[in-house]
Amino acid sequence: MNHSGFIASFHHVTRIAAHYYARLLSGNKLLEFRLRNLFGCSSLLEITKMEEQEETLISIDSTPPEVDTSSGQLNNLSQPKPFDTSLFDQPSQQTETIDLIGADPPSAGVQDSTGEVTEEKDAEEFVKESSDPTKATDPKESQMQNQFTDENLTNVIIDTQSEVEEINLDSDSVVEKTSPSDRGDQEIDNSELKLTAKNNLNTEELLEGSTPLPEIVDELAKDTPDRRPVNVPKLPSVTTFHKGNTPWDDEDPFLSAISNSEADRRQDAWLPSESTLNVLQSRVNLQGTDYASRPDLTMPGISFDEAQVDTLKELLYKYHIEDDVTKRKRLTLDQVTRDLDGLKRLLNDGCLRSAVQLTGLLLTSVGQGKGQSGMPSQNTAESIQIWFTRLALLVKLRQFSTAELESQPFRDFDKPDLYYQYYPALYPGRKGSMVPFSFRVLVAEIPQFVSQHQQSMTRLYALLATCQKIVSNLSQGLDEYGEKSGVSEEYIKASLILWKNRVNRVQYSIGNCLLAMKDYYQSIKVFQSLSKTDSLNWCQIESLVGRIYLQLGDLKSAQETFTGIEKMSEADDQSAKIQVLINKGFLRMAQNMYTDAHIQFSEVIKLDPGNFTAVNNISVCLLYMGKLKSALNLLESLVNDEPDKYLDESILFNLCTLYELESSKSANKKQQLLGMAAKRKGDGFNVSCLKLP
Amino acid sequence: MDAPREKEHLLSLKVMRLTKPSFVLSCPVICEQQDIFSRGSDGLQDLLPKLGSVQGLPAVALGELLTLPQNFGSIYLGETFSCYVSVHNDSSQIVKDILVKTDLQTSSQRLALSGSGATPRPELEPEGCIDEVIQHEVKELGTHILVCAVNYNPPSGDSMYFRKFFKFQVLKPLDVKTKFYSTEDNLVHSDEVYLEAQIQNITQSPMCIEKVSLEPAPEYTVTELNLQPDDSDSSIFGAITYVNPMDTRQYLYRLQAKPQQGSERGTFTKGVSSIGKLDIVWKTNLGERGRLQTSPLQRVSPGCGDIKLVVLQIPDSITLQSSFKFLCKLTSCCERTMDLKLNLQKAGTGLSWMGISGKQLGKLGPGDSLQIELSMLSTIPGLQSISGLRIIDQNLKRTYEHDDIAQIFVHHAQTAA
């Protein structure tokens, strides 16, 4: 092959350089693909093949590595780097990153524990609250609760007499209360406005304070020809990781690009706002020469890069289960490659905390590290996927405030630099958003976890509106954007399925959010409409509606819903039969008929012996029936027989609650569970379910 | 909770309040197939599937797995306090003659819940348990102390005894306000009264109010006005079946006095009388039930004083700067004969009296009534209120003030046309 390679690091400066170069070559065939570098920092590399004669035009030198030893690595990576030194300093370091098994120094945990402790406070409080009810009620401890003792309350009944007179005075305030929802809506609007105003301010300040982007780019354009070519063979494995990507082979790049583009096209489709659309169109017309102003840029940055404490391991040390510490063969950050592959391995192993840390490293390497929020950096489809992973993990680890903080720069994902059209040279002809749809939903959901439900609702409904617009475009035989672009009928059909599913997906999130807001009525309405649009799952959805009724105490409506399911389901449908039995069990429990509930759940097990939901719920029934030992044995055998499957937080929580009630030796039994969990669970395991002090 | 004195004992006692269980809430994070942490299978999937999630619906937060109560929670008047008492033999010896007794101490009394008069259990083997679920409907507000006492005989030595105390507060779940309305036309000897009951949920959770019924006192009959007139089965509150925290619902009842002997229609007693009681039943989280009855509702018959003034006729609206007449009826509600005089004072902004002030109305006996016709002139457009009517009883030199007795809309002549 008469081609020579050119490597652009993931770092935004070089990315822009590559971009610039790509524009120079606009007449030539461009073959782009991404490289995975085994060394963490420049995890995503881009190689652009090009004609020989252009080789002199661009080349980038690799400055000598500054990393000294493996122990220093971590710190080094987490620091923001100056532009020049960050280019390709790592390829030679790859060997050092692997296999540091067991070298995880305990001091690292101690050193970083401060940040972690604040994150874990919620969990700790949860443990405290959820601990033995007897604690809260010990008379010695809680004498200050004594609000009512002084009153002489001999009559049980409520005294309505004294309030008769109040009514006349209060009549106005009663009227006022009737329209809280209206006022609530106004409040959202205001806060949204404030938010926008604030953000604009920030960006303006930044514009004055720092170097504008166009200058950086010009500088680079001047610089690049002087750089030495990169030594390609030095690079480790060259693999593709992105599904839509073409491997580097002899295939015609354009043909393969087309085959991928159909799926990409419908998945990436998104309708930008008008202002964003204008920016994107002007960029296409100008072939990307017009660099956007700062307000057009998305500038995320991680908010912490400290190591996440493996709480499971901490507990093992605390209870001196050293034996289990050594047996604990879960992956750690040092045992995986610092790239997407390593991230996947950590995820599959349940090592969520290490995975968060790895996303931090990867993002730092692309200029989106700690303190770099609000500073321009290059967003790519890959960096955004890493962000998605990071925020998803933070939510799973219940570090909601961090997730909320870090999600702020993305907001509604409407900045032009998140669209492929913004980079006409890098992604020629590619249209749509680089943001995965699920990431949009996640970021819309995050505010509700920090009690800003209304903001979540606003964002979710905005998503829903866009999805519905796309569905309506497709239903008219047009493409997603409402244009007649000559797409095939099959394409439209496939896209319609995708987007209808996405409409449902947003509706589920809306239903969840309403439920979290305790707006049961609206939530039920959303789920009821979903049981029609997501008709394959109607039985489960209707059962969900019934459970919501039960939870709020409306047994009558719950019963009606459950009876409706029974009537609608077909006689030979096994899963519907099970669902009906489970529903009956719940209803009986709500009616305080625990023995009957037990019978219903037992019927489920006859039909489906592996139904752990029924086993767990039988155990709960047994407790209310006064059969603690049986309840305990049932759950214990479930967990002991198949620990890999049933060592789940919610089942362990019940089991530990029963242990606490059963004997004063509960601590030992909980520690046994801890040992079991340590052997099988990654660092994402939520230890609070064990209710260990 | 391991008090030193407890360690000397062979048995241990644990208590857990059995509030209703709840459904596990998960925190779904869904990805599509093309996302990097997708596990490659088709369709939606969670980043980290947990057991609690619903099969086929990974995006739904409310699961099917039940979780045991996590804390003591709050308990409200009228609910049933239910708790699990477990006595466990922690020792390696067989313990004999075990008696577990539970009492509930309130601020006013001590209630025996279980174990009083029961025969002791002959023996409890090591690791054995004595389990009991105690239920008690709380009927008092304020501090309650659950007292659990355990008597037993160890294999060697004298009988042993220990007690444990668990304290909790019973809170008020509802705020009930009542209001009586008398019918307009016949105030003196009205035979029906309307009762409005405002029931406010002052708990922390939504509440499903199942029943609010008025149990009338024997001399009245009651009609509930809280169902749709066409369809007697559906409530007027529509599809929303629950009351959110701090929200209020209004219920309306019509009370009629039963006819007394010798008279065709019944009358409401004057002064203070008992009307009846409200019976309220509600359910909260997963069917947790509560029930309350109010104390007898007292009605004070409307204080119309000695004289009742009712406007019989008045036009709805009138053009600006024109005069109008209206008709009033004065009824005596007192036992004496009055000698009445009519004074007209400042009628308020926008209206002026037309006619003489100080007109003699003559004598009015008990229960008698008389009609007077009055004229006014409108001066300012808008909704105007009639005030400034003064009736003076010349026998007792007592003045009865009547303000805001009626309203009239004053408009320009053009708008009327």
pLDDT band at A607 (very low <50, low <70, confident <90, very high): very high
Q: What percent of chain A has pLDDT over 90?
A: 32
pLDDT of residue A233: 34
Per DSSP bridges, beta strands B80-89 and A44-49 are: unpaired
**Model ipTM?**
0.77
Q: Which residues contact A226 (CB under 8 A, 6 or more apart)?
A: none
| 8 A C-beta contact, residue B136 and residue B104 | yes
- On the question of pLDDT at A510 being above 70, the answer is yes
Which residue in B47, B89, B109, B162 has the most chain A C-beta atoms within 10 A of its own C-beta, making it the best mutation to test that interface?
B47
pLDDT of residue B237: 84
Question: Residues A387-393: what's their mean pLDDT?
Answer: 93
Other C-beta atoms closer than 10 Å to the C-beta of B105 total 16
A192-230 core/surface letters (b: 16 or more CB in 10 A; e: else): eeeeeeeeeeeeeebeeeeeebeebbeebbeebeebebb
Other C-beta atoms closer than 10 Å to the C-beta of A2 total 5
**pLDDT tens track for A102-150:** 333 333 333 333 333 333 334 344 334 433 443 333 433 333 333 333 3
pLDDT of residue A539: 92
pLDDT of residue A684: 82
Alpha-carbon distance B145 to B166, whole Å? 5
Judge whether A629 is closer than 8 Å to chain B, CB to CB.
Answer: yes
Alpha-carbon distance A262 to A391, whole Å? 28
pLDDT of residue B255: 87
> A206: distance to nearest CA of chain B, Å?
33
Question: Residues A350-375: what's their mean pLDDT?
Answer: 88
Q: What residue of B is the nearest CA neighbor of A340?
A: B36
Question: Residues A425-448: what's their mean pLDDT?
Answer: 90
The residue type at B134: I
Other C-beta atoms closer than 10 Å to the C-beta of B340 total 21
Which residue in A613, A653, A656, A683 has the most chain B C-beta atoms within 10 A of its own C-beta, making it the best mutation to test that interface?
A613
Q: What residue of B is the nearest CA neighbor of A627?
A: B131
| Contact between chains at B240 and A662 (C-beta distance less than 8 A) | no
Residues of B within 8 A of A136 (CB-CB) are 71-72
| Contact between chains at A551 and B84 (C-beta distance less than 8 A) | no
Highest mean predicted confidence (pLDDT) among A258-267, A464-473, B192-201: A464-473
Question: Residues B45-57: what's their mean pLDDT?
Answer: 77
- On the question of pLDDT at A30 being above 70, the answer is no
Other C-beta atoms closer than 10 Å to the C-beta of A122 total 14
- On the question of pLDDT at A13 being above 80, the answer is no
| Contact between chains at A153 and B108 (C-beta distance less than 8 A) | yes
Angle at A106 between CA A100 and CA A112, to 5 degrees: 105
Q: Give me the residues of A, 395-454, that contact B with CB < 8 A.
A: 395-396, 398, 436-439, 441-442, 449
Question: Residues A439-448: what's their mean pLDDT?
Answer: 95
Residue with more model confidence, B229 or B94: B94
pLDDT of residue A487: 82
Alpha-carbon distance A189 to A209, whole Å? 31
Q: What percent of chain B has pLDDT over 70?
A: 89
Low-confidence winner among A11-15, A664-668, B156-160 (lowest mean pLDDT): A11-15
| Contact between chains at A263 and B293 (C-beta distance less than 8 A) | no
CA distances from residue A132 to A367, A671, B1, B12 in whole angstroms, order as listed: 48, 17, 9, 14
pLDDT band at A310 (very low <50, low <70, confident <90, very high): confident
Residue with more model confidence, B46 or B87: B87
Residue with more model confidence, A315 or B407: B407
Question: Residues A185-196: what's their mean pLDDT?
Answer: 37
Residues of B within 8 A of A535 (CB-CB) are none
Q: Which residues contact B7 (CB under 8 A, 6 or more apart)?
A: none
Judge whether A383 is closer than 8 Å to chain B, CB to CB.
Answer: no
Q: Closest partner residue to A132 among B1, B287, B292, by Cβ?
A: B1
Angle at B41 between CA B37 and CA B42, to 5 degrees: 115
Q: Which residues contact B232 (CB under 8 A, 6 or more apart)?
A: none
| Contact between chains at B16 and A624 (C-beta distance less than 8 A) | no
| Contact between chains at B32 and A509 (C-beta distance less than 8 A) | no
- On the question of pLDDT at A593 being above 90, the answer is yes
pLDDT of residue B262: 64
**pLDDT tens track for B55-87:** 778 889 999 999 999 888 889 999 999 999 999
| Contact between chains at A649 and B50 (C-beta distance less than 8 A) | yes
Question: Residues B329-336: what's their mean pLDDT?
Answer: 83
| Contact between chains at A133 and B298 (C-beta distance less than 8 A) | no
Alpha-carbon distance B343 to B237, whole Å? 48
Judge whether A261 is closer than 8 Å to chain B, CB to CB.
Answer: no
pLDDT of residue A598: 96
Residues of B within 8 A of A129 (CB-CB) are 70-71
- On the question of pLDDT at B51 being above 80, the answer is no
pLDDT band at A682 (very low <50, low <70, confident <90, very high): confident
Q: What residue of A is the nearest CA neighbor of B24?
A: A650
What's the residue count for chain A? Answer: 693
Residue with more model confidence, A683 or A548: A548
* Contacts A–B by Cβ distance under 8 A: 328
- On the question of pLDDT at B135 being above 60, the answer is yes
| Contact between chains at B283 and A553 (C-beta distance less than 8 A) | yes
Q: Closest partner residue to A541 among B57, B177, B210, by Cβ?
A: B57
| Contact between chains at A164 and B177 (C-beta distance less than 8 A) | yes
| Contact between chains at A148 and B21 (C-beta distance less than 8 A) | no
Judge whether A199 is closer than 8 Å to chain B, CB to CB.
Answer: no
Which residue in A126, A153, A240, A435 has the most chain B C-beta atoms within 10 A of its own C-beta, making it the best mutation to test that interface?
A153
Judge whether A548 is closer than 8 Å to chain B, CB to CB.
Answer: yes
Low-confidence winner among A219-223, A294-298, A630-634 (lowest mean pLDDT): A219-223
N-term to C-term CA, chain B: 85
Q: Closest partner residue to B169 among A145, A395, A627, by Cβ?
A: A145
Listed residue (B120, B126, B74) closest to B98, CA to CA: B120
Q: What residue of B is the nearest CA neighbor of A522?
A: B240
Alpha-carbon distance B340 to A607, whole Å? 89
| Contact between chains at B167 and A385 (C-beta distance less than 8 A) | no
The single-letter DSSP state of residue A598 is H
Question: Residues B256-285: what's their mean pLDDT?
Answer: 78
**pLDDT tens track for A530-565:** 999 998 899 999 999 999 999 999 999 999 999 999
Residues of B within 8 A of A520 (CB-CB) are 206, 242
SS3 state at B77? coil
Q: What residue of A is the nearest CA neighbor of B172?
A: A158
SS3 state at B145? strand
Predicted TM-score (pTM) of the model is 0.70
The single-letter DSSP state of residue B372 is E
Alpha-carbon distance B247 to B271, whole Å? 33
Alpha-carbon distance B124 to B111, whole Å? 27
Q: Closest partner residue to A544 among B16, B62, B146, by Cβ?
A: B62
> A333: distance to nearest CA of chain B, Å?
17
pLDDT band at A81 (very low <50, low <70, confident <90, very high): very low
| Contact between chains at B208 and A553 (C-beta distance less than 8 A) | yes
| Contact between chains at A613 and B48 (C-beta distance less than 8 A) | no
Residues of A within 8 A of B286 (CB-CB) are 550-551, 553, 589-590
Alpha-carbon distance A667 to A125, whole Å? 19
Judge whether A515 is closer than 8 Å to chain B, CB to CB.
Answer: yes
Residues of A within 8 A of B205 (CB-CB) are 518
Q: Closest partner residue to B198 among A174, A512, A554, by Cβ?
A: A174
| Contact between chains at A550 and B18 (C-beta distance less than 8 A) | no
| Contact between chains at B68 and A438 (C-beta distance less than 8 A) | no
Question: Residues A301-327: what's their mean pLDDT?
Answer: 75
| Contact between chains at B62 and A389 (C-beta distance less than 8 A) | no
Q: Which residues contact B141 (CB under 8 A, 6 or more apart)?
A: A148, A151, A153, A156, B77, B170, B171, B172
Residues of A within 8 A of B68 (CB-CB) are 620, 623, 653-654, 657-658
Question: Residues A484-507: what's their mean pLDDT?
Answer: 90
Residues of B within 8 A of A149 (CB-CB) are 107, 142-143
> A154: distance to nearest CA of chain B, Å?
6
Residue with more model confidence, B333 or A438: A438
Q: Closest partner residue to B286 among A149, A550, A646, by Cβ?
A: A550
pLDDT of residue B32: 84
